Chain A
Amino acid sequence: MSTPAPSVPGAGSPRHVWRRPQFVDNPWLRWGILLGLAAYLVYASTAVDMNLQRMLRGLPRAREFLALMFPPDFGRWELLSSGVLESLQMAVFSTAVGSLLSIPVAIGAASNVAPRPFYVLCRGWISISRTFPEVIIAIFFVKAFGFGPFAGVLTLTVATTGFLGKMLAEDIEDIDRGQVEAIEATGAGWGKTLLYGVFPQVMPRLVGLVVYQLDINLRESTIIGIVGAGGIGGALFNSFLRYEYDFSLAILLVIIGLVLVAEWASGEIRSRVT
């Protein structure tokens, strides 16, 4: 083309009006997207029966619910504290066991150190355990091993091997080859290379990740009790079933406090080690 395209649309015309650039340039595509979105909204809100009438009918019930919720009832603090304690113990124990187990998983899932068949196996495990929400894994273990913290510990351990295994595997894949080659040059075998060439490089990250995982596990450990896997979630679910909403609020406040403290502490520790 001999004439270069004008950089501003309409720049050649006598009265040049600036227009706000659109997020999607092509008008057909832009209107198409908007129209599609509107059509979807209409379809989906009828599909899930989301209409104003139903929402408005919820309002008085919401008011009633809030009235029953306040003031929070901390009267059964023994039940509350034993549930919270169980959640804490589940989180700590499964983080410890899960972290130990996730180390071999991570080594297996790192393409630069693992043999091929082992790699496929470990990656498969990671993607299965990461895809399913903790709660689904939890129901599974509850059905297999019965109600109680054992199912919860298994759930959180599996989830830990998935998340920590994946993160650690990525760190191992990102390491500096030089140090590994230096150790290999001394005649060290696979195990010693791993121990002296790979681990020192990922150790600081591992500590940070374990702390983060503890934070996640603590969060989940307060929830999976809803499906019977131990911890405070069971008491929360029961309080809802019995319409004891003031006790529910007390439990919720404690959970929120716990989650906030854990998030703050985990952030502090991680900013120091990494």
Chain B
Amino acid sequence: MNAAPHREWHRHTPRQSLLRFAMNLAIAMAVVWAATGLDIYWPFLLDAPPTVVDLAARMLPPDWAFFDNIVDPMIETINIATLGTLLALFLACPVAVIAARNTTPNVVTFWLGRLIVVSSRSVNELVWGLIMVVFFGPGALAGVAAIALRSVGFTAKLLAEAIEEIDRGQVEAIEATGANRPLVFFYAIVPQIMPAFWGVTVFRWDINIRQSSVIGLVGAGGIGLVLNSAMNMFRWDQVTVILIAVFAVVLVSEAVSATLRARYT
């Protein structure tokens, strides 16, 4: 009595197949819900190719004479990014120390550190920009503050992780010499996180160059302001020049950051 004369191989057990089917169905339903819920007039999609062609025609050729007008805003953008990064580092160091499990004085400071990290990170730089423009008025100062506040969380988080991953041995060695807490910090912990510190700095600077090209849209200085006014005046040939400049600066900063990080960290 052979109940199963030949058994067929299946990739999934029936249970697995059912689970996979259910998950695929759930995903499909989510996508359908999203597509039908959106207030989009779909025939617009048919208009898309001619619109893009039309736009491209207006953008070309670039108005190179406009280049002179964007040099200063571009330098301002780079300054905003750099100053914002430096300010963020300054603010992030104490936050990192209290947000790392092994250096935080107590539970309250630990959660305070985490709270600062989370609130800084989960608010976009444009929103920080909006708030800082209220504080300082439109201009580059608001931009620097926005970039700094946005970067504090990211920088402090990575630094805190670096502090948590240090080698205990060196700390114990310094402690064994009778050193007090600040001395232990500066002689055992700081040297160990230095490479991470510079790596994070350069990495964040690179991100900030890109982000500070945008914050001008909410009045926080830099090239974004020029971009916005060029678009509002439908000077698409000037927009092309600005976009090319942003593209070039971002590429250069990315290359600089990658080279520095590869060499020193």
Contact A62 B135 (CB under 8 A): yes
- Residues facing B in A144-199 (CB within 8 A) are 144-145, 148-150, 153-154
Report the nearest B residue to A21, measured CB to CB: B191
Q: Which of B82, B126, B221, B243 has the most CB of A within 10 A?
A: B126
Question: Contact residue range for chain A?
Answer: 35 or more
Pick from B83, B135, B211, B247: contact of A58, CB under 8 Å: B135
Inside 8 A of A55's CB, which chain B residues have their CB? 136, 141
Inside 8 A of A21's CB, which chain B residues have their CB? 191
Query: Is B118 on the interface with A (CB-CB < 8 A)?
Result: yes
Inside 8 A of B149's CB, which chain A residues have their CB? none
Please judge, given known A-B contacts A20-B187, A86-B38, A136-B213, whether A226 and B80 are in contact too, CB under 8 Å.
no
Contact A44 B141 (CB under 8 A): no
B130 to chain A, nearest CB (A): 5
Inside 8 A of B30's CB, which chain A residues have their CB? 92
Q: Mark interface residues in B233-265 (1 if CB within 8 Å of A CB, else 0).
A: 000000000010011001100000000000000
Q: Mark interface residues in B108-134 (1 if CB within 8 Å of A CB, else 0).
A: 000000000011001110110011001
Report the nearest B residue to A139, measured CB to CB: B231
A37 to chain B, nearest CB (A): 8
Inside 8 A of A90's CB, which chain B residues have their CB? 34, 38
Query: Is A77 on the interface with B (CB-CB < 8 A)?
Result: no
Contact B79 A48 (CB under 8 A): yes
| Bound Cα distance A153, B38 (Å) | 9
Contact A48 B122 (CB under 8 A): no
Q: Mark interface residues in B96-116 (1 if CB within 8 Å of A CB, else 0).
A: 000000000000000000000
Inside 8 A of B118's CB, which chain A residues have their CB? 256, 260
Inside 8 A of A222's CB, which chain B residues have their CB? 124
Pick from A48, A93, A133: contact of B140, CB under 8 Å: A48
B196 to chain A, nearest CB (A): 12
Q: Which of A92, A136, A222, A237 has the most CB of B within 10 A?
A: A136
Q: Mark interface residues in B204-245 (1 if CB within 8 Å of A CB, else 0).
A: 000000110110011001000001100100000000000100
Query: Is A240 on the interface with B (CB-CB < 8 A)?
Result: yes
Q: Chain B binding site: helix, strand, loop or mixed by DSSP?
A: helix
| Count of residues in B whose CB is under 8 Å from the partner chain | 60
Pick from B35, B51, B76: contact of A48, CB under 8 Å: B76
Contact B79 A136 (CB under 8 A): no
Query: Is A34 on the interface with B (CB-CB < 8 A)?
Result: no
Inside 8 A of A54's CB, which chain B residues have their CB? 136, 141
Inside 8 A of B5's CB, which chain A residues have their CB? none
- Residues facing B in A1-48 (CB within 8 A) are 20-21, 23, 40-41, 44-45, 47-48
| Bound Cα distance A135, B223 (Å) | 13
Contact B83 A45 (CB under 8 A): yes
Query: Is A88 on the interface with B (CB-CB < 8 A)?
Result: yes
Query: Is A67 on the interface with B (CB-CB < 8 A)?
Result: no
By a beta-carbon cutoff of 8 Å, the part of chain A in contact with chain B is 20-21, 23, 40-41, 44-45, 47-50, 54-55, 57-58, 61-62, 65, 85-86, 88-93, 96, 127-128, 131-133, 135-136, 139, 143-145, 148-150, 153-154, 219, 222-223, 226-227, 230, 236-237, 240, 252, 255-256, 259-260
Taking A145-B44, A230-B38 as known contacts, 9 extra A-B pairs with beta carbons closer than 8 A to each other, sorted by chain A number, are A49-B141, A55-B136, A65-B134, A86-B37, A128-B247, A145-B47, A154-B48, A226-B218, A259-B122
By a beta-carbon cutoff of 8 Å, the part of chain B in contact with chain A is 27, 30-31, 33-35, 37-41, 44, 47-48, 51-52, 55, 75-76, 79-80, 82-83, 86, 118-119, 122-124, 126-127, 130-131, 134-137, 139-141, 143-144, 187, 191, 194, 210-211, 213-214, 217-218, 221, 227-228, 231, 243, 246-247, 250-251
Selected A-B contacts with CB under 8 Å, 22 pairs: A23-B194, A44-B79, A45-B83, A48-B76, A48-B80, A50-B141, A50-B144, A65-B134, A86-B39, A91-B34, A92-B33, A93-B34, A133-B211, A148-B39, A150-B40, A150-B41, A154-B48, A226-B217, A240-B134, A255-B122, A255-B123, A259-B122
